[in-house]
Amino acid sequence: MSITISVDMMSGDGGAPVAIPAVLQVLKNNADVRLLLVGDESSLRPKLEKSGSQYADRWTIEHAEEVVSMDDSPVQVLRRKKRSSMRIAINLIKEGRADACVSAGNTGALMATAHYVLKTIPGIERPAIVSAFPTVKVGQKTLLLDLGATVDNSPEQLFQFAVMGSTLAQVIHNIESPKVGLMNVGKEAIKGNEVVKQVHELLVDSELNYFGYIEGNDIFTGSVDVIVMDGFAGNVALKSIEGIVKFLMSTVKSVLCSSPWLKVLAVPAYPLLRRIKQKVDPDRYNGAMLLGLNGVVVKSHGGANSVAFSYAIQEAISAASQGVVTLIRDRVAMLLQED
């Protein structure tokens, strides 16, 4: 089955210079994928025809006059940038021309635009940003949501996130009955604010495989498959994880380069260090889906390089090819008793 992905080529810190090598790598790796490349045609076409002529039958440029900057207000983007590369890329899903969309643009603007254009699945009040993170268990990943779409959530919304996260874990990670954990400041029943306690009760009474409360230090243990939290806590967790990975990699590099003897010892250890870097490399986990919309929209990190951006496109291909939106819609209808 052929999959078509619309790609916002202009947004993010890198813009087209980052996006072009990324889309060419995706086309090379996926013979059944077509890409609708949204951006300024005069700047995109010469570079694509020079570097990607062998894939010309599988990419099409959709011209966009405007670009959403990283500090644009979401409200202003909705009102005044209707011809932006971001808006057109999302519109292509609504028009039925694309199965999914990828953008590295302003998170607030992307969320507002996608919500406005595509609307949410019946039974879902607000979308959530979700991404997968590695764990100490070989081959296992844990889904975290919400990573910053909404900083304040009601108990009902957090329960909806749990339903969507559980469904995504089933589809993407092939887990028959995913364990769902609820982020809290402790595992004891007396701990947590009223919202968390109410979500706990909703999950206990649900058909989900609810594990119970988990804490921040459980994110990488693999004890659960899905971790639910509000957008404020989720965004703090996400940025903390990114910072820790950068700190660790920088520390290892500085230690190994601190003396001639350590440099010599690092040579035979290079294959091991390379494997460790690959496992924790943030580029490999780039691409967070805006879950709960009537369409697949994937957010790439604004500062992503071309390798990371290609992983975000791969995430969109995977979600679209497995019919994530339809499966979530059906599961939500069943568990939340929506028509």
Q: Strands of 226-228's sheet, edge to edge? A: 59-63, 33-39, 3-8, 100-103, 296-299, 288-291, 128-134, 141-145, 226-228, 179-183, 209-214
Rg (CA), the chain: 21
In CATH terms, the superfamily for domain 125-288 is Isopropylmalate Dehydrogenase (3.40.718.10)
Within 8 A by CB and 6+ apart from 285, the residues are 131, 132, 133, 134, 311
Q: How far apart are CA 333 and CA 310, in angstroms?
A: 33
Give, for 201, the enclosing helix (H) or strand (E). helix 194-204
Residue limits of CATH 3.40.718.10 in the chain:
1-122+292-305, 125-288
Burial class (CB in 10 A: 0-12, 13-18, 19+), 203: buried
- Judging by DSSP bridges, how do beta strands 226-228 and 179-183 pair with one another? parallel
Asked if residue 12 lies in contact with residue 304, where contact means CB atoms within 8 angstroms, the answer is yes
Q: Under DSSP, is residue 4 helix (H, G, I), strand (E, B) or coil? A: strand
- What are the residue ranges of helices labelled H in 30-154? 41-51, 74-80, 85-94, 107-118
Q: How far apart are CA 37 and CA 224, in angstroms?
A: 37
In CATH terms, the superfamily for domain 1-122+292-305 is Isopropylmalate Dehydrogenase (3.40.718.10)
- Judging by DSSP bridges, how do beta strands 179-183 and 141-145 pair with one another? unpaired
The pLDDT of residue 337? 60
The pLDDT of residue 289? 93
The first and second tokens of residue 13, run together, are 């810190």
The pLDDT of residue 284? 74
Q: How far apart are CA 224 and CA 273, in angstroms?
A: 27
Q: How far apart are CA 62 and CA 38, in angstroms?
A: 5
Q: How far apart are CA 287 and CA 297, in angstroms?
A: 10
Asked if residue 158 lies in contact with residue 213, where contact means CB atoms within 8 angstroms, the answer is no
- Roughly what angle, to the nearest 10 degrees, separates helices 16-29 and 306-321? 50
Q: Under DSSP, is residue 135 helix (H, G, I), strand (E, B) or coil? A: coil
Q: How far apart are CA 302 and CA 306, in angstroms?
A: 11
Q: Under DSSP, is residue 111 helix (H, G, I), strand (E, B) or coil? A: helix
User: Model pTM?
Assistant: 0.87
Mean pLDDT (10-residue bins), the chain, 339 residues: 92 90 94 95 91 89 92 90 95 96 92 94 92 84 89 91 92 89 88 90 92 91 93 87 79 77 70 66 78 94 90 93 90 68
Q: How far apart are CA 214 and CA 40, in angstroms?
A: 46
Q: Greatest CA separation found in the chain?
A: 68
